[in-house]
Amino acid sequence: MHSFKDLAGREWSLSITIGTVKRVKAETSVLITDAVDFAWLQELLADAVKFNEVLWAMVKGQAENLKTGAITQEQFDDSIAGEARQDALKAFEDALVDFSHPAIRGA
């Protein structure tokens, strides 16, 4: 599991499972398993709005169960910029590598 902190200092954990893939697809129409295609991945990561929608679908359950109280997607969106966005990108990429077949990972 990989994590990042948003601008409010909240820590979010990212991992990709089949359940994650299904949830992200249902909520965003993005099939994150397509990310094994480098051009597709670069396109997703370059689209800040679409990437944040994917992130939200991945962390929504965490957002609903925060010790400090649930937050909305708008609050989450407002907390992702700059270094927090870069850290989220890295955590997402690392989660994709962990999910990938070993041949794709280069193992």
* pLDDT score of 89: 95
Residues 28, 73, 61, 14: what is their CA dihedral angle, to the nearest 10 degrees?
A: 70
* pLDDT score of 36: 72
The list of the chain residues with pLDDT below 70 reads: 101-107
* pLDDT score of 104: 52
Cα–Cα distance, 77 to 17 (Å, whole number): 23
